[in-house]
Amino acid sequence: QKEVEQNSGPLSVPEGAIASLNCTYSDRGSQSFFWYRQYSGKSPELIMFIYSNGDKEDGRFTAQLNKASQYVSLLIRDSQPSDSATYLCADDPGGYQKVTFGIGTKLQVIP
Amino acid sequence: DADVTQTPRNRITKTGKRIMLECSQTKGHDRMYWYRQDPGLGLRLIYYSFDVKDINKGEISDGYSVSRQAQAKFSLSLESAIPNQTALYFCATSDLSLAGDEQFFGPGTRLTVL
């Protein structure tokens, strides 16, 4: 069975610091990877996707993918209290296979 | 207006009752999903449908059934609710894009079974 592993946290960082969220996956055939942000009691929303090895930057967010190591990460620069949420990693094998979500990492940004 | 809607948003029921959760979408997506979320367990897939004639079990389908009435509607039923089905339920839709199978979630239904 495919697995997506995340540390559930909480990960606490001071305001202004870089938050680093990590994810490993078991399916070498996975093609795309997603990072969703979920505020408490709310629904997940997509913040980043990546499908090529290397880094992808969008504002304060950088997604990193290393397919050889089966490792995906999300960096949040200049962390703000509003970034406090649970971050879900998901892998997408493509085609008619379903996406698999990790359990999520809870991030707390301390003012 | 919300693209993915769920009704009801909150429901309290008793053990043994039949419950239906409904999901509607205006995104025009073929794929629809039902997930439940429990603290510490993340999102777990109950059922999914890649088109109107396609229904598939997810990892935790026991005790649940679904109906895909149209492209836009996907309902989840609990035939005889039990307390361990107390959870936050999400409907989601997707359509293959450059981003892959990006999923769009409804606002969720909080279900409590007493």
Instruction: List pLDDT tens digits, range A45-60.
Output: 999 999 889 999 999 9
Task: Return the HEC string of chain A.
Answer: CCCEECCCCCEEEECCCCEEEEEEECCCCCCEEEEEEECCCCCCEEEEEECCCEEEEECCEEEEEECCCCEEEEEECCCCHHHCEEEEEEEECCCCCCCEECCCEEEEEEC
Contact list in B for residue A31 (CB cut-off 8 A) is 100
User: Residues of chain B with pLDDT > 90: what percent?
Assistant: 86
Is the predicted pLDDT of residue B74 greater than 80, yes or no? yes
Tokens of B76: 């989840």
Whether chain B has a CB inside 8 Å of the CB on A94: the answer is: yes
Q: What is each CA distance from A32 to A29, A64, B111, in whole angstroms?
A: 10, 12, 32
**Is A17 within 8 Å of A111 (Cβ atoms)?**
no
Distance from the Cα of B6 to chain A's closest Cα (Å) equals 12
A34·B100 Cβ contact <8 A: yes
Instruction: List pLDDT tens digits, range B78-93.
Output: 999 999 999 999 999 9
B33: nearest CA in chain A? A98
* Type of residue found at A22: N
Whether chain B has a CB inside 8 Å of the CB on A39: the answer is: no
User: Residues of chain A with pLDDT > 90: what percent?
Assistant: 78
Minimum mean pLDDT among A91-105, B9-23, B25-39: which range?
Answer: A91-105
Is the predicted pLDDT of residue A40 greater than 80, yes or no? yes
Mean pLDDT of B85-110: 90
B110: nearest CA in chain A? A41
Contact list in A for residue B41 (CB cut-off 8 A) is 103
Output the average pLDDT for chain B: 93
Whether chain B has a CB inside 8 Å of the CB on A23: the answer is: no
Q: What residues pair up with B111 in beta bridges, in sequence order?
A: B11, B87
